Amino acid sequence: MPREYRKDPDVISRLSPEQYQVTQENGTERAFGNVYWDNKEPGIYVDVVSGEPLFASVDKYDSGTGWPSFTAPIVPENVVMIRDTSHGMARTEARSAHGDSHLGHVFDDGPAEQGGLRYCMNSAALHFIALADLEREGYGEYRRLFESETPD
């Protein structure tokens, strides 16, 4: 049975002030001072509100910006792109499809050999699930992202 992802008011009530400000009020956390900007552990990142799978460590790279950056979402349908003209500039906002959380922004200065996009996300919008915990947390299907493609 497929898992249902949704914006959960009970979860929202338990968010930290920073998580609330980022996900519900379209905020941005401080660069280089957030929990996942330099996380190198294998695993996936899910929406802190809905739990929907968003990004994997295999697509994470050091963009030098101080925020977790990815080349692509693991489930493209879970990341909605919206034109953002706030702050006097035109950008592309990334939101979670089911939780409607503000995640960050998408820029076209990512690694060219991996599609050229940089998904610059706020750690406060994400919950990291380590590879060793995927099964226990109900995300076992994403273990395949970490399996070697080389034959035995």
What are the strands of the beta sheet with 126-130, ordered from one edge?
Answer: 53-56, 43-47, 126-130
Closest CA to 123 of 42, 45, 53, 11: 45
| CA 66 – CA 78 distance, rounded (Å) | 24
Q: Which helix (H) or strand (E) holds 121?
A: strand 118-121
Q: Which of 15, 56, 97, 120 is catalytic?
A: 120
Sign of CA dihedral 38, 43, 47, 48: negative
In this structure, are strands 102-107 and 60-61 parallel, antiparallel, or unpaired?
unpaired
Active-site residue, 26 included = no
Provide the annotated active-site residues.
Answer: 120
